[in-house]
Amino acid sequence: MGQRIIRIIKGDITEQEVDAIVNAANNSLLGGGGVDGAIHKAAGPKLLDECRTLNGCATGEAKITHGYNLPAKWVIHTVGPVWHGGNNEEDRMLAKCYSNCLKLAAEEGIKTIAFPAISTGVYHFPIPRAAEIAINEVIDFLQETPVFDRILFVCFNDETFSNFNRLLNEDKK
């Protein structure tokens, strides 16, 4: 059921024409490198102004802002865990990122959403492990709450794309 609406693509999350994109943010929500920096740059300075009113975000939680100059109407900010070897609840916290983003999107009536590979950049979460957590969380959420028309995983590079794509295709078998 859920697999029909889940797609894996290689590209730039800031260019996706969806209701909401997810920002792999830092705790301050005030911009940073990687996906976070790209989203802030593409959205323009009003995103930073709105983020200043949110008082940051705890790891695993999610907050929403307008998308401003992005094609997406909304940005859902979530703070993924920094990888410390896998024994500090990193898996659980990463799963919470995806589930909390999906819950918030569903509450807001969002029908299409694009995710980056949260925590796999400067936070060094292993890509195969992150991909498995992400896909499982999305499929589990869709089985309980089938409210989305399309969920994209937007992968920035070939390694991320191949890991996400392989896992999604294995799940269809």
CA distance 93 to 132: 14
Average pLDDT of the segment spanning 43-63: 98
Q: Is 2-172 CATH 3.60.15.10?
A: no
Q: What is the pLDDT of residues 56-106, one digit of tens each?
A: 999 999 999 999 999 999 999 999 999 999 999 999 999 999 999 999 999
pLDDT number for residue 169: 84
What span, in angstroms and rounded, lies between the C-alpha atoms of 94 and 50? Answer: 25
**pLDDT bracket for residue 170 (50, 70, 90):** confident
- In this structure, the number of other CB atoms found within 10 A of the CB of residue 10 comes to 15
Please give the order of strands across the beta sheet that includes 74-79.
Answer: 6-10, 150-155, 112-115, 20-25, 74-79, 62-66
Size of the chain, expressed as the number of residues it contains: 173
- Average pLDDT, integer, range 24-35: 94
pLDDT 10s digits, 117-158: 999 999 999 999 999 999 999 999 999 999 999 999 999 999
pLDDT for residue 1 is more than 50: no
φ, ψ dihedrals at 58, nearest 5°: -75, 155
Q: Does position 2 have pLDDT exceeding 80, yes or no?
A: no
How many other β-carbons are positioned within 10 Å of the β-carbon of residue 158?
9
Quote the pLDDT of residue 172: 54
pTM comes to 0.95
Residues annotated as catalytic (active site), given as ranges: 36
| Residue ranges covered by each domain of the chain | 2-172
